[in-house]
Amino acid sequence: MMKNKVLFFVVFSLLVTITGVAQIQEKNISDIEVSSPRPYRYEGAGYNEVAIDKLPIFKLKKGGNSEELNKLIAEVSKKGGGVIKIPSGAYNFMQILLKSNVHIRIAKNTVIEFPENSGNKKGEKSIIMIGRLANEGRIKNVSIVGEGSLTNRPKFILRQVDIKHRRVFSIGSVENLLIENFTIEDNETKGSAIAFNLQRKGDSKAYRAKGATVANISMTGIEHGYALVQNNVGENILLKNLICENGVTCRVETHSARPFNVGIDNIVIQNIVNKHGKAAVLLQPHSVVNGRVIVEGVKSIGSVWTVFLKEGFVAKDSKRRENGVFIGSKISGISMVYSNTKAVLSRRNVKNVPDALKQFISEEDRNIKKFKVIDPSIIEKGVPGPSIAPVFSNVKTYSVELPNADEIRVSGEDVHLRKVKFFRID
């Protein structure tokens, strides 16, 4: 449906004057000095703030390891809760298990990576796990916040040392969660950095996250097939002030719980940017009946698309034997800065590039038949190419309320070559 909508205006840029000429200088919208993480709730989604000023404070010793932090978390939770402060420094953490009523504050100038031997350890390759283990019950009232500004706030670094998915935050059965103010430096590892899934052995909505806010996070170096945040499941989740380079910034793809027909209800997405990737927001329901997704303020800079709307499908393990849907969803405040060469496409999608833009993709990268013979896996690798359009859609089974074409702001290289703002494949 196309309806006139009042645009949700988000400050993405600052006018500066150089030699008397006004130019646009992009700001990093994950910077807490540019975009406030508060309010933590909007449209019924997000974290209900817990007052922590009077809670007892506990400190991890400088240079502490995973075992020491997990022991401290368990002790603090058993005592009824408190604040754990992690001092600045370099740490190697893996499988940190956050427990109820524990609030972690990480000092500025802190770098966190996996241990060198992480490939030998059994279980999830995740730095912090929240309600993911089958035997830990539902986690409640927790927060993880980085201190400092954009230039010195805590940084997580991901490196691929095995074939497993690598995550910063793995989220399962939790109620009332806040994650705020971090930088993630990826090195094209497998998996989305922040992932919402069911708790292990969970088979219903009771095992998914409810009432969470993820705010003010930037990510670089992501592999183009993954995301900064992926919501396979979740209820009343607020994602705001997020930016990543490459890949997808917010991916609402209800994949992992399709054997139980469990997906999302009320995901609210605000102030999102993607640079030189696939898209800022992607919706894909698989076979699941989902509630609404509300997007307000979404921008791409030199990416293939800004919004990517994909039709569902039925997989072998789908409980529901029909294409999935999102009910009552809408997107507003769409903008795009075109690039001819800095977007990242998979070779499989090169066929969707309009003829006028194929000049910006090398002849070798266009030859998908050649790669099918040499190495089929190469087809999924990203290749540089042009921005195509603000909105992609091949949706037939569900509808998303979108702004009119004249409400979508576009700029950048060779605007005249992009004839449409809505790119549809039937």
Q: What is the pLDDT of residue 370?
A: 58
In sequence order, what are the residues at sequence separation of 6 or more whose Cβ sits closer than 8 angstroms to the Cβ of residue 201?
134
CB 226 within 8 A of CB 191: yes
Closest C-alpha to 309, from 355, 277, 351, 278: 278
According to CATH, the topology of domain 13-339+389-424 is Pectate Lyase C-like (2.160.20)
Question: How does residue 372 score in pLDDT terms, banded at 50, 70 and 90?
Answer: low
Q: What is the pLDDT of residue 228?
A: 99
Q: pLDDT per residue over 215-228, tens digit each?
A: 999 999 999 899 99
Strands (E), 109-209: 110-113, 126-130, 139-146, 155-157, 167-171, 174-185, 194-196
Q: What is the pLDDT of residue 366?
A: 78
CB 224 within 8 A of CB 246: yes
pLDDT above 70 coverage of the chain, percent: 91
Interatomic CA distance for residues 346 and 382, integer angstroms: 4
Per the model's pLDDT, the better-predicted residue between 27 and 368 turns out to be 27
Residue 132's DSSP bridge partners are: none
CB 22 within 8 A of CB 70: no
CB 272 within 8 A of CB 299: yes
pLDDT at position 52 over 50: yes
Question: How does residue 1 score in pLDDT terms, banded at 50, 70 and 90?
Answer: very low
Q: What is the pLDDT of residue 3?
A: 43
What backbone torsions phi and psi does residue 248 show, to the nearest 5 degrees? -125, 140
Average pLDDT score, the chain: 92
Interatomic CA distance for residues 280 and 243, integer angstroms: 8
Per the model's pLDDT, the better-predicted residue between 162 and 394 turns out to be 394
CA distances from 298 to 89, 276, 290, 379 (A): 34, 14, 21, 28
Interatomic CA distance for residues 123 and 162, integer angstroms: 13
Which tokens belong to 354?
């309009």
Q: What is the pLDDT of residue 15?
A: 34
In sequence order, what are the residues at sequence separation of 6 or more whose Cβ sits closer than 8 angstroms to the Cβ of residue 29?
10, 11, 12, 35, 241, 242, 243, 271, 273
pLDDT at position 183 over 60: yes
Closest C-alpha to 267, from 232, 242, 245, 292: 292
Q: Is 269 left (phi over 0), alpha (psi -120 to 50) or beta?
A: beta
Least confident of 72-81, 117-126, 164-173, 295-304: 117-126
Question: How does residue 18 score in pLDDT terms, banded at 50, 70 and 90?
Answer: very low
- Spans of all domains in the chain: 13-339+389-424, 347-386
Location of structure tokens 């009910």: 327
Q: pLDDT per residue over 313-361, tens digit each?
A: 999 999 999 999 999 999 999 999 999 999 999 877 888 899 999 999 9
Which tokens belong to 77?
């939770």
What backbone torsions phi and psi does residue 354 show, to the nearest 5 degrees? -60, 155
Secondary structure string (H, E, C) spanning 270-298:
EEEEEECCCEEEEEECCCCEECCEEEEEE
Count of other CB atoms within 10 angstroms of residue 358: 14
> How far does Cα 340 stand from its chain's mean position?
25
Q: pLDDT per residue over 84-133, tens digit each?
A: 999 999 999 999 999 999 999 999 999 999 998 888 788 899 999 999 99
Q: What is the pLDDT of residue 380?
A: 64
Interatomic CA distance for residues 110 and 107, integer angstroms: 6
Highest mean pLDDT among 4-13, 205-214, 356-365: 205-214
